[in-house]
Amino acid sequence: MERTWTARDAVYRRKVVYTGYFMVFIFFFATVALLLIGGIIPLLGMGLSAYGIYATYVRKSYPRVITIDGESIAFTSYGTKTYTLDKLEMFCVRSDMGGYQLFVRIGEHDGAKGRFWVTPSFFEDSDELLDEFIALERRVHPDSIIVKRSRPAK
C-alpha cells in the first residue's frame, strides 16, 4: 500500500523555498560587498549562503513529498529520488537535539546524495511518518543498537 506525506504548502514555502531565495540574495549581496569593501564578513556570508543554496537546490535535502510503498521510498524536492527498499544497505534516522528535525541517511551517502532533513511538523500525520521511518530502519538494520533500544519492553 502506497502512503504519501506532503508538507503543508505555506509552511514549506516559508521555511524552505523563501529561505533558499534569501540565501541567494545574501550570496549576491555578500559578493558585491566583498568586491566593494573586502574583508572577512562578506566572505563568511558568501560561504554560509553558498552552503544553504547547495543543500536546498543542489542536494535537495529538504523533501516536500515523501512516498513509501512496499517496495520503495521516494523523496521529492525540486526533483524526485527513489530508493528500492530491497537494495538498501543503509537507512538511518537520527533526531537533532531538540527533536525538531530528523536527519535521514539512505542508500549512497557520499556527502552529496542520500542525506535528507525531514521536519515532521511540516507534514500531516507526522506520527505515522515517524513510525514508517522506524519500521524501515528495523527492516534494513534489525540488529542495530539504536533499533533494539527503540523497541518496546517485553
pTM of the model: 0.82
What distance lies between CA 2 and its chain's CA centroid? 20
pLDDT confidence tier of residue 154, bands split at 50, 70 and 90: very low
* Domain of residue 130, residue span: 3-150
**How many distinct structural domains can be found in the chain?**
1
d(CA 142, CA 125): 25
Average pLDDT value for residue range 8-23: 92
User: Strands of 65-68's sheet, edge to edge?
Assistant: 3-6, 65-68, 72-76, 80-84
CA angle 53, 58, 60 (to 5 degrees): 95
> pLDDT of 90-140, one tens digit each?
888 888 777 688 888 887 766 667 888 898 888 888 888 888 888 888 888
> pLDDT of 68-91, one tens digit each?
988 889 999 888 888 888 888 888
Q: Give the SS3 label for residue 76.
A: strand
